[in-house]
């Protein structure tokens, strides 16, 4: 490896070390009270623990199983074909819909006083088992799994295998179940682990959608860790460790289930079924999109509502008075945090791809497959020791732990598709490895870089726990404000903050798409 590439590797390792390595002492500090058996005994004897564990398990299982089922049903009906390509093009905008904003919209739709309750004259029961939380996460995470699956279904041999199975007389749905699913599920393994990790440790969405009394384990751990009593704080750390144990247990169980069933999948038994799921899958895909649009529409309606009392279907009057009273300092804070996190993450990932072998990429992806609560708490413990909490560099640093992995997910496929002959030709002309990176590879990766910037921006906007912990409560963002207003605050202001949370990533996606289109216009001769 030449000197310049070595320099890129050193810079990448240093950048990753600054972001990731401080977690190790932070987690070690958190783990110190966990060796006390008395702490675990108090956790197990707490009256909230059994129901909190139940709601956590229920919501996590519904989230993962529901998202996987929706993904499989849509793929089996739409892939391959123009309908699938059209739906994939819409996925980035759906993914830009933050979890908190989506949960807020569903709350206004499905709560006891929500719009559907007014329309159907039915009082929806209070969810104490985590069903609503699990269903919401299943809908939202299905978009993530579909986007991830779209990167795994571009291989032409799958289409050839479908043609062969169709020529053998198998129906459209049957041949997809026999050909696509057995090959797709192993590729979705890490994505499913990431969905499970998020579902187990999500705090902001669980606060909005409940259950409330008792809450989920993640919310209960967060409440205890914010308690002034050191004993309660230690109990919260114990629950954080329990979340990691649950993740390991569910992941192991899923792997064993797959090992036991993989031989049965993909077997051509000779029985040919002619079912066709294209119409159903198209309706399902459109339904998911419609739910997202309905959530956004109800947020917009609430933000303009002058007064809206139950059981009226529409507000008595519309006005912009709520927007005049809204907090916009949260918008500015969120904007500059995301503008700082996104470019830094894209630069770190670019250096990492250039200087570090691909087998080490899993190190950067670990935050996606680990519960967020213990990681954020570990960051906070490090910042406490360094007296760095409550500062803007600390908040940006805390966001990078999640922004960098998502940026890597976007850039890595494009990097692997680069034609190595471009770099070889440049090197034979005397260009150094460093110049090849910035003058050859980076321009070729302009569109994926802009995509990584937009995704990183969106991930930063959605951060709740890192902002609270690293910012020591001194930084109010649209996400933290929306969650705070969900606990009995003004619904109009909650809707406004949720809409601002949607507008920021949507605006960034539109900006990057236009920038990519403009760059393509002026580089037509290079096509």
Residues 6+ apart with CB under 8 A from 21: none
Do 347 and 485 fall within a single domain?
Answer: yes
Distance of CA 28 to the CA centre of its chain: 26
Do 333 and 452 fall within a single domain?
Answer: yes
- The whole-number pLDDT of residue 1 equals 40
Q: Is residue 527, in this structure, part of any structural domain at all?
A: no
- The whole-number pLDDT of residue 158 equals 75
Geometric angle at alpha carbon 290, from 286 and 293, rounded to 5°: 140
Do 402 and 265 fall within a single domain?
Answer: no
For residue 189, the domain's CATH number is 1.10.3720
Instruction: Please count the structural domains in the chain.
Output: 2
Q: Is residue 446, in this structure, part of any structural domain at all?
A: yes
Q: Is residue 248, in this structure, part of any structural domain at all?
A: no
Q: Which residues of the chain have pLDDT under 70?
A: 1-6, 8, 26, 29-30, 121-128, 154-156, 265-275, 489, 521-527
Boundary-marking domain end, from 272, 303, 334: 303
Contact 143, 94 (CB under 8 A): yes
Note the pLDDT tens digit of each residue in 184-222. 888 888 889 989 999 998 998 999 887 887 899 999 999
Identify the three-state secondary structure at position 212.
Answer: coil
Give the span between the Cα atoms of 359 and 490, in whole angstroms: 49
Do 15 and 163 fall within a single domain?
Answer: no
**Structural domain for 334, as ranges:** 1-34+319-522
pTM to 2 decimal places: 0.86
Identify the three-state secondary structure at position 217.
Answer: helix
- The whole-number pLDDT of residue 156 equals 62
Give the closest residue to 353 by CA, choosing from 405, 435, 415: 415
CB neighbour class for 24 (10 Å; exposed up to 12, middle 13-18, buried from 19): exposed
3-state secondary structure 478-493: HHHHHHHHHCCCCHHH
Do 271 and 333 fall within a single domain?
Answer: no
Do 272 and 145 fall within a single domain?
Answer: yes
Half-sphere exposure of 125 (CA within 13 A, CB side): 5
Do 136 and 268 fall within a single domain?
Answer: yes
For residue 366, the domain's CATH number is 1.10.3720.10
- The whole-number pLDDT of residue 524 equals 60
- The whole-number pLDDT of residue 2 equals 44
CB neighbour class for 448 (10 Å; exposed up to 12, middle 13-18, buried from 19): buried
């Amino acid at each position: 490896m030449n000197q310049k590439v070595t320099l890129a590797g050193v810079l990448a390792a240093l950048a990753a070390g600054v972001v990731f390595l401080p977690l190790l002492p932070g987690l070690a500090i958190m783990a110190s009270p966990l060796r006390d058996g008395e702490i675990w005994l108090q956790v197990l004897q707490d009256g909230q623990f059994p129901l909190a564990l139940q709601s956590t398990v229920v919501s996590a299982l519904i989230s993962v199983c529901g998202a996987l089922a929706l993904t499989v049903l849509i793929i089996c009906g739409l892939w391959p074909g123009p309908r699938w390509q059209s739906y994939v093009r819409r996925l980035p905008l759906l993914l830009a819909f933050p979890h908190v904003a989506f949960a807020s919209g569903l709350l206004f739709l499905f709560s006891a006083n929500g719009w559907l309750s007014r329309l159907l004259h039915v009082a929806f029961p209070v969810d104490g088992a985590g069903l609503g939380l699990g269903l919401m996460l299943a809908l939202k995470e299905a978009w993530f799994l579909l986007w991830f699956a779209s990167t795994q279904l571009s291989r032409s041999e799958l289409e050839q295998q479908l043609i062969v199975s169709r020529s053998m007389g198998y129906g459209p749905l049957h041949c997809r179940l026999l050909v696509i699913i057995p090959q797709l599920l192993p590729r979705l393994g890490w994505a499913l682990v990431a969905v499970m990790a998020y579902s187990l440790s999500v705090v902001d969405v669980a606060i909005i959608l409940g259950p409330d009394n008792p809450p989920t384990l993640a919310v209960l751990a967060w409440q205890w860790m914010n308690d002034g009593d050191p004993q309660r704080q230690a109990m919260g750390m114990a629950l954080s460790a329990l979340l990691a144990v649950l993740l390991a247990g569910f992941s192991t169980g899923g792997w064993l289930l797959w090992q036991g069933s993989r031989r049965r999948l993909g077997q051509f038994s000779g029985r040919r079924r002619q079912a066709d799921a294209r119409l159903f899958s198209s309706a399902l895909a459109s339904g998911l999109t419609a739910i997202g649009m309905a959530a956004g529409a109800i947020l917009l309606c609430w933000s303009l509502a002058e007064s809206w009392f139950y059981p009226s279907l529409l507000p008595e009057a519309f006005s912009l008075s709520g927007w005049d009273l809204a907090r916009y300092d949260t918008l500015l804070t969120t904007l500059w945090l995301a503008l700082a996190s996104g470019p830094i993450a894209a630069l770190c990932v670019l250096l990492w791809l250039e200087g570090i072998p691909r087998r080490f990429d899993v190190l950067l992806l670990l935050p996606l497959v680990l519960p967020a609560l213990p990681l954020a708490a570990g960051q906070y413990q490090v910042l406490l020791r360094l007296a760095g909490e409550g500062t803007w560099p600390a908040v940006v640093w805390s966001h990078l732990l999640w922004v960098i992995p998502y940026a890597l997910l976007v850039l890595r496929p494009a990097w692997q598709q680069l034609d190595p002959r471009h770099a070889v030709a440049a090197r034979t002309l005397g260009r150094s490895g460093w110049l090849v990176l910035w003058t050859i590879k980076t321009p070729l990766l302009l569109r994926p870089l802009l995509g990584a910037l937009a995704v990183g921006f969106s991930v930063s906007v959605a951060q709740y726990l890192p902002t609270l912990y690293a910012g020591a409560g001194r930084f109010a963002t649209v996400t933290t404000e929306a969650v705070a207003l969900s606990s009995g605050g003004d619904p109009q202001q909650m809707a406004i903050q949720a809409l601002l949370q949607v507008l920021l990533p949507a605006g960034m996606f539109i900006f990057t798409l236009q920038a990519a289109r403009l760059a393509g216009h002026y580089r037509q001769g290079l096509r």
